Structure formats: C-alpha cells, structure tokens
Amino acid sequence: MALMIAVGVGWRVLRPGGLDADVTRRAVTGLVYWVLLPALVLLVLWQAPLGADAARTAGAAAGGVVFGLAAGWGAYRALGAAPPVAGALILAAAFPNATYLGLPVLEKALGTWARAVAIQYDLFACTPLLMTVGILVARAHGQGGEGDGEGAFGALLKVPSLWAVAAAVALNVGDVPLTPGVEGLLATMGTAVPALMLIALGMGLTWGDVGGWRLALVAPAIAIQLVAVPLVVWGLAVALGLTGERLTGVVLEGAMPCMVLGIVICDRFGLDGGLYAAAVTLSTALSLATLPFWFGLLQ
C-alpha cells in the first residue's frame, strides 16, 4: 500500500505524459467520488448486517470526531494561533482519512467484510459531522473564503455516497435480493476504488508553502489525530460493547491520518491550506508506523 501511495508521489515529481498531479488527482478523485465509491457503498451495505454493531461503530466514530474538535480547539486557543491557522488544524485534528485510506487498510488487514466498518465509520458519522459542525468551524475561522451560503442540509444532499447509503439501507432492510448481474457490476466498479484512492492520496501529498517554525504548528493536530483520538475511540468502542475484529477495525479507523478532503474546505472558506496540506502529508507518513503499532496492540 505504501508503494501505491508512492506511485502518486512519483507522479507529482515526474509528471508522466506532461499530466499535472493536481489536475490528474481531481479527475481520479472525481471519478471515485461520483461513480465508483457510491457503487462500492451500495454493494457493501446492501449485504452487510445493519444491527447494533453498525450503531456502535457510528457512536464511537462520532465520539472520536467530537473529541478531536474539542482537543484541537483547546490546543490552538492555548497557542494563540490565528483564526485561519486554528480552523485548518482543528479540522485536521478531528477528521480522519476514514475512506480514502481507511477502506483499503481495513480490507487488506481484516478482509473484505471490514469494508462495511470503514463505510459505516465514515458515512454514518464522520461525513455528516464534517458537513455540519466541520463547516461551522471553517466558517467561524475562515478569512477571505467565499463559500456558497449553502446550509448543512443542502451540502449533505450533494454527497453521492450518502444517497448510495440510503438506497443500500432500504434494499437491505427490505430484503431485496442482490442478483448476480447487479452484484458483478457493482463489484467490478468497486474493485478499482482502493487502488485509485491510494494513488490519488499520494498525488495530493505536499508541503504547500510551509517551512521552519510554521511546521511545528501541525504537531498538536497530528498528535491528537494519531494518538489521542484512537485511545478515545477504543475506550468508547469497548464501552459500547464492540469486541474482536470489529473493535480492531473501529480503532484503526480512529487512528487514520488527517482527511484529504479538508484541503478543499480550507480553500473554500479561506483557511490556511498550506498548513493543512502539511498536516495531511506528515500524518500520512507517520501512519505507516502508527497504524501497524495500533494493529499489533489490538491483537
């Protein structure tokens, strides 16, 4: 998986065929976001059990995000960071890369069944919180960003994977059979998602315009995201009754590095996108060590 991320990093450096990494990444992530990921979500949640464990997963995920928001706010308030810096790094501390890195990690570490854990963690908790509380944080701290005046509900309605969640849950609860033809189509589309996610993640890794003392500002956000949040999620998951491999998957999701999508939110609301990009890059690099650590500890 690290080598697949390295392909994306290499693309940024080598520009094969003269294709710019940022332009190519937007095309790849657009394809995944609008077409391939909704197909995978539909396939997984149509067949996955939607009982108490799904609710417990969402509860632990929501608790981890809320803790990250509170801890990030406290840390950057204590440091006296400027609002655009504080807003960007609060988001970095709170929202994990639950799907773009979490889904392929869980699938390879625990098996294909664990894709449901990643999707439930993200789409049942992280994405709704990002589009509501996360947007409020960005608006409160942003300077010079335009936004679009859109409410939280309108933003949620534009997330294609959430429409896929609604359809999949309805089909699952209604015991609608998944025919071999439809399953084959969705599986073929979904198979491409992990590889494209990892390569696109590598394409997006950059230091931006960060250097010197400003780089030290990302340390609290990374420590919260990679160390504190997994501990909180672990405690919440155990308290909620999760055990075994489901517990492992949930804690690993909580231990993911900073979410890549936050760069878009920083640009939209006038937050410090350079520092956010540095947080994503450094936390992703460190996660190559911290994720195996958490996995070993959980075993």
Residue whose pair of structure tokens reads 């504080």 in the numeric block:
86
CA angle 21, 7, 96 (to 5 degrees): 80
User: Per-residue pLDDT tens for 213-266?
Assistant: 778 899 999 999 999 999 999 999 999 999 999 999 999 999 999 998 888 788
Token representation of residue 49: 């059990």
Q: How far is CA 213 from the centre of its chain?
A: 27
What is the C-alpha to C-alpha distance for residues 276 and 173, in angstroms, rounded to an integer?
40
pTM of the model: 0.88
User: Positive or negative CA dihedral for 98, 82, 72, 165?
Assistant: negative
CB 90 within 8 A of CB 76: yes
User: Per-residue pLDDT tens for 259-295?
Assistant: 988 887 887 888 988 889 889 989 999 999 999 999 9
**Mean pLDDT within 131-137:** 90
27 vs 68, more confident: 68
Would you state the pLDDT for residue 131? Answer: 86
What is the C-alpha to C-alpha distance for residues 40 and 60, in angstroms, rounded to an integer?
23
Residue 45 CB partners (closer than 8 Å, separation 6+): 116, 119, 120, 164, 165, 168, 169, 172
- In order of start, what are the domains of the chain with their CATH numbers? 2-9+21-298 (1.20.1530.20)
Token representation of residue 206: 């950059």
pLDDT category at 152 given cuts 50, 70, 90 is: low
231 vs 199, more confident: 231
The shares of helix, strand and coil residues in the chain, as percent rounded to the nearest 5, are 80, 0, 20
**Mean pLDDT within 114-127:** 94
pLDDT higher than threshold 80 for residue 145: no
User: Positive or negative CA dihedral for 170, 176, 178, 179?
Assistant: negative
Would you state the pLDDT for residue 254? Answer: 97
Would you state the pLDDT for residue 97? Answer: 94
**Mean pLDDT within 119-141:** 92
pLDDT higher than threshold 70 for residue 155: no
pLDDT category at 69 given cuts 50, 70, 90 is: very high
Half-sphere exposure of 253 (CA within 13 A, CB side): 35
pLDDT higher than threshold 60 for residue 148: no
